[in-house]
Structure 1
C-alpha cells in the first residue's frame, strides 16, 4: 500500500491508548458521516419537498446545524484552512463573486440565502481536506456511498413505487433521488471510489470489492448512458494508471495513445456527432439538452459579464427563465450543464475563474499521479466531474456532495505533500517519546550499593 494511504503508527497507537480521545474521534467521524449523507441530497428531499420545489422550510432549518458544524470546524482548523485557501485563489474568486452577486441579482433574497449555502458547502470540502489524511477521507466517503447504495437497493426491492420510475423512463431505478440520472451519476462516482480503495486499502478490500459490484449494478439499473460512460471512465483511469506504471517507455507511449484517442474523439464529434450519440443510445440533441443550451447562450449574451446573480436565474418568478421555458416549451429546471449554469449565475468572468480553477486542479492531479496513487484518484475525480458537468448542473452547487468532493480533492492536491505529512510525523515523534518516557517510568529503580 502506498505510504500516502497509511496513517502514522505512533498517532494510531496514541489514539488507541486514550479511550476518551478515541471516543471523541469516533463521534467526530459519525458527525461527518451524517453531514455527508445530507450533502448527497438523497431521501430527505423526496420526503419533505417536491421535484418542482426541492427546497422547503423544514430542509432549510435542517441545514442550519450543518452550517454551524462546518463553521466550528473551520474555526478549529483556521490556520490550516487559511494556508490551503492561499493556494486556491481562483476558487476564492468565484466564491467572492457569488456572494457579491447579491448586488446585481434579479432575486437578491434567493442569491443571499444560497450564497451562504455555497460558502458553507465549500468550507466543508476545505475542512475535510485539511482535517483528514487521504485514507481516512476516502474511507469516510466510501462508507457514505456504500450506505446509500444499500438503502437505494432496498428501496428498489421493497418499495418499487418509490425507488423505480413509473412515469417517464419506466423501469429505470432512481433509488433515493428524484430521477435515474442522479442515482446513476452518484453510483458511477461511488464505484470508481470503491474500486480505488479496493486496490489501495487492503485491510478492507472485501468491503470495497462488494461496494464496486453493488454500485456498478445500480448504474446499470439506472439505465443512464452518461452514468455508464462515467463508470467506464473511472475504471479506465485506474487501468491506465496501472499500465503506465510498468516503466517510462510504457508511460510515454500511453500518454501519446491517450492524446491520439482524445483527438480522434474530438474529430468524430465535430465531423459526425450523430455516430457517437447513436452508440450511446441518444439522439443528437442529447434528449433535448442542446435546445435548452441554444436558448441559454442567448440569455447569457444579455448579461455576459457577471450573470443574473448566484442561483437566481431559475426562480419561479424569473422573467429570463420564463422566456427560456416558453422557447423550449417545457418547464426547464436547470441548465443541464455545469458550465452554462455557472455563466448564468456569475457571468463569463466567473466562468473563466472556474475554468482556471478546474485546469489548475487537473494539472496538480496529473503531477501528483507521477508520484502517488492519490494523484490517480484525483485525476479520476476531475475527469468524471468534467464528463458529468457537460449534462448536469453540478458545478458550484450548494448543499451538494459532488461539489464538496471536488473541493476536498482540489485542496488535497494543492497542499504540498511535505506539508501534508509534517503533522503526522510530529505526532509520531511525540508518541514515540511518550512511550519511551512511560517505559522509563515503569522500570523499577536500580540502587547501586558501594
Structure 2
C-alpha cells in the first residue's frame, strides 16, 4: 500500500476511534457519575488530543472549512457565543471550560465533513454504531447488573450508558442510519442488516417510548421516500395524504390530547417534564437575552438550578428539552441561532431530497433531532456524538450548497462561451 494511501487509512481509523469516544459509552460509567457526567481530570484531558487532531488536520482542508464557516453562520456564532458566555455566566470558569469544549466539538464535526465523502462518513458512522450496538448488547445480556436498570424502570436495558433513554435514543437514531445504508449501500447489506436488527432489538429492550416513536419516524421517512419514487402522481398523492394526516393529527391533539399521549404510555405532563418547563420559563424570563452561561445553570447546589429542584422536589439534571437547554445557557439569542441553523439545514435537505439520496439521510437526521428535542436535551452538547453527527451533517449540506453554486456558475460560463460567435 502506498504511503499516502496508508496515511489516509490511518486518518479514517482515527476519525472512527474519535467518534467512538464521543459516544461516551462506558467511559462515563467508569470515570463519571450521573450528577457529574463531565467526569474528572482524566476525561477532560482525554479530549485534548482529539481536539488537537481535528484542529491540525482541518488546516490541510482550509478551503472546505472556510466554505462551511461561511455557509453555517448561525452554527459558528452559536459555538462562539458559548465561549463568550463566560463574561456573563453565573459560573465563569465552567462556562469557559465547557465553551471551549463545545467549540472544538463543533470544529471536529466540521473536520469530519471536510475530510470524508458522504459515503465514507456514513460507512464510518455505521461501523461505529455496529461496535456500540454489539457492546451494549453484551453489557445487557452478559452483565445484567451493569447493563440493566434496577432502582427505577427495573429491567429496562441501559447498556453502556447511565439511563435507558440514552440507550434508546442513540439506537433509534442508529436504526435510521442502518435502514438508510441498507437502502443505498448494497455491497455491505449484510452488515447493515445486522446493525439494524441489533439496534431495533436494543430500542425495544430499553422500553423507551420516545425512542420507539423516533425509530418508527425514521422508518416512516424512508418508506415514504421509496414509495414516492414510483412516479409523480404517487408523489403528489402521498404529499396530500401526509398533509391530511398531519391536519387530522393536529385536530385529534386539540380535541382529545389525553387519548393520544396515552397511546405511547405518557400523560399530558410528559412524565413531569411540563412541571420542569414551567419553572424554567420563569427563570429564563429573569435573564432572557443571554442566559446563565454555557454549562453553568445546573452546576452549583446554591445556583439557579436549586429553584428548579425546590419546585419539582427532585434533582432535575437537565431541561429535558433541546431548545430550552440552549436558552438557559445562551438566552433567546442562542436559542434563536439554534432554530435558524436547524431550519436552514431542514430546508437544504428537504429541497434537494429528490436529487440527492444523501439529503434524505440529512432530512431524517433533522426530523429525529426535532422529535427528541421535545423531551431531551440534544442540542449543543460538548464531547457528544449526537452533536458531532448534527454538525457533520449540517457541514455536509453546506458543502453541497457550495458545490451547487459552483456547478451553476460553470454551466452559465459554458453556455456563455457556446453562444459567442466563432473567430473567423
Q: TM-score, normalised by structure 1?
A: 0.88
Matches within 5 A, 1:324-343: 324-343=308-327
2:10 matched to which residue of 1? Answer: 27
The correspondence for 1:416, drawn from 397, 400, 403, is 400
Q: Distance in 1 between matches of 2:156 and 2:360?
A: 32
Note if 1:38 corresponds to 2:21: yes
The correspondence for 2:344, drawn from 346, 360, 366, is 360
1:5 matched to which residue of 2? Answer: none
2:416 matched to which residue of 1? Answer: none
The correspondence for 1:295, drawn from 275, 279, 290, is 279
1:178 matched to which residue of 2? Answer: 162
1:391 counterpart SS class: coil
Q: Distance in 2 between matches of 1:314 and 1:64?
A: 24
Matches within 5 A, 1:344-383: 344-383=328-367
2:30 matched to which residue of 1? Answer: 47
Q: Distance in 1 between matches of 2:401 and 2:285?
A: 43
2:376 matched to which residue of 1? Answer: 392
1:223 matched to which residue of 2? Answer: 207
Contact 1:368/1:374 (<8 A) preserved: no
Return the offset for 1:377. 0.8
1:244 matched to which residue of 2? Answer: 228
1:269 matched to which residue of 2? Answer: 253
- Closer, same or farther in 2 for the Cα pair 1:285/1:418, shift >3 Å? closer
Return the offset for 1:244. 1.0
Return the offset for 1:421. 12
Contact 2:67/2:402 (<8 A) preserved: no
- Find the structure with the greater CA-based Rg: 1
2:285 counterpart SS class: helix
Note if 1:213 corresponds to 2:197: yes
Contact 1:368/1:413 (<8 A) preserved: no
Deviations for 1:158-197, whole angstroms, at most 9, x for unmatched residues?
1111001111000000010000000000001111101110
Note if 1:160 corresponds to 2:147: no
The correspondence for 1:280, drawn from 258, 261, 264, is 264
The correspondence for 2:110, drawn from 80, 105, 126, is 126
Contact 1:342/1:395 (<8 A) preserved: yes
2:63 matched to which residue of 1? Answer: 79
Q: Distance in 2 between matches of 1:46 and 1:228?
A: 24
- Closer, same or farther in 2 for the Cα pair 1:73/1:422, shift >3 Å? farther
Aligned residues: 406
Moved more, 254-263 or 404-413: 254-263
The correspondence for 1:146, drawn from 130, 133, 142, is 130
Note if 1:104 corresponds to 2:97: no
Task: Show structure 1 runs of 4+ deviating over 4 A.
Answer: 420-423
1:189 counterpart SS class: helix
Return the offset for 1:283. 1.7
Deviations for 1:71-124, whole angstroms, at most 9, x for unmatched residues?
112222222101111011111221222122111011000000011111111111
Moved more, 177-186 or 84-93: 84-93
- Closer, same or farther in 2 for the Cα pair 1:77/1:148, shift >3 Å? same
Matches within 5 A, 1:426-437: none
1:249 counterpart SS class: helix
Task: Mark the runs of 5 or more structure 2 residues left unpaired by the alignment.
Answer: 408-424
Q: Distance in 2 between matches of 1:264 and 1:96?
A: 42
Question: Aligned-pair RMSD on alpha carbons?
Answer: 1.6
Task: Mark the runs of 5 or more structure 1 residues left unpaired by the alignment.
Answer: 1-17, 424-450
- Closer, same or farther in 2 for the Cα pair 1:46/1:192, shift >3 Å? same
Q: Distance in 2 between matches of 1:153 and 1:165?
A: 14
Note if 1:317 corresponds to 2:301: yes
Q: Distance in 2 between matches of 1:121 and 1:359?
A: 21
Return the offset for 1:271. 3.0
Deviations for 1:265-298, whole angstroms, at most 9, x for unmatched residues?
2333333221121000112211111110111011
Q: TM-score, normalised by structure 2?
A: 0.93
Contact 2:67/2:398 (<8 A) preserved: no
Return the offset for 1:262. 2.2
1:65 counterpart SS class: helix
1:200 matched to which residue of 2? Answer: 184
Q: Distance in 2 between matches of 1:81 and 1:72?
A: 12
- Closer, same or farther in 2 for the Cα pair 1:153/1:421, shift >3 Å? farther
Return the offset for 1:19. 2.6
Deviations for 1:383-442, whole angstroms, at most 9, x for unmatched residues?
00101111111101111111111111111122236738999xxxxxxxxxxxxxxxxxxx
